[in-house]
Amino acid sequence: MILSMTGFGRAQKVLNGRDITVEIKSVNSRFFEYSSRMPRSCSFLDDKLKKLLNESISRGKVELSLSVQSIDAQDTVVEPNLEMARGYLEAIRQMSVTLGVLNDVTAMSLARMPDIFTIRKAEKDEEQFWQDVREVAQQAVENFLAMRAAEGVKLREDVLSRLDTLEQYVGTVEESSAVRVQKYTEKLYARLKAVLEDRTVDDARVLTEAALFADKTAVDEETVRLRSHIAQYRDMLSMASPIGKKLDFLTQELNRETNTIGSKCSDVAITRVVVEMKGEIEKIREQIQNIE
């Protein structure tokens, strides 16, 4: 199964009082490139998340987004500032005695005084927090890979179709190449006959010239290699990713053999076929840029 390098995956769960959301998206890249967006308090998880993704993704520019929202007060600690409270009580007592007013302070009234409480974040259980984030991230990766696989099926079908078309063009080149030598022989014979007029044409000379022409413009080796590369291409498309780099190399070979055919043949019909072949190879190249 081949995978596209373009994909998106998202997962969200509430675990241990936290609403955790992980999103993963990727675009084409020759190598694995990772970037992330997450709260600063979660930055200690970045390397672990990168490693988690790299276990399943070998190529692509991947961006991970992590969001964590608390849905209860489990991560918040409220503590009374007892020294401050004692200071308020002593000041109120002195004011009551000095001014002769009732000292009716209560815990509730004291709680309204500034700086009576200290609010801070509770210490995280980092290992438990990582396990929670990992669970959500793993689900996001699975969703991400499912989308990549679906896109990979479409890419494979398109490339296979273009390989069939390319193979048909190779057959056309082979047929035209054989006919071209025969036409050249007949044309050469007719020219020599016109030049020599009544004198007898040297058949051996004609055959020698035709053989030299055939050897100079023969494309048998190129078409055989093209068919071999196409067969290898089909085999690779049946393998599991990553195969993108191997396909890229084979595409270069397809293009090289096609260019050689074009340089050897001056026949207009074959030139037109070569142009069509190069067009199909370029479309294949564009598609495999998306394959991991």
Backbone angles phi, psi at 27, to 5 degrees: -135, 180
Q: Provide the CATH topology of domain 7-72+125-148.
A: Ribosomal Protein S5; domain 2 (3.30.230)
| SS3 call for 103 | coil
Which segments of the chain are extended strands (E)? 7-15, 18-27, 32-37, 60-70, 76-80, 117-121
pTM to 2 decimal places: 0.67
**Exposure pattern of 11-25 as b/e (b: 16+ CB <10 Å)?**
beeeeeebebebbbb
Residues forming CATH 3.30.230.40 domain(s) in the chain: 7-72+125-148
pLDDT the model gives residue 34: 96
What tokens appear for 106 in the block?
Answer: 């209560």
pLDDT the model gives residue 84: 87
The angle subtended at Cα 7 by Cα 6 and Cα 8, nearest 5°, is: 150
What is the distance of C-alpha 39 from the center of its chain? 26
Nearby residues of 17 by Cβ (< 8 Å), 6 or more positions away? 70, 71, 72, 74, 75
Q: How confident is the prediction along the chain (292 residues), in pLDDT tens digits per residue?
A: 789 999 999 999 999 888 999 999 999 988 899 999 999 889 999 999 999 999 999 889 999 999 998 876 566 667 888 888 898 888 888 988 888 888 888 888 888 888 888 766 656 678 999 999 999 999 999 999 999 999 999 999 999 999 999 999 999 988 877 666 566 555 655 554 554 454 555 555 545 554 454 445 567 788 899 999 999 999 999 988 789 889 999 999 999 999 988 887 777 888 899 999 999 999 999 999 889 8
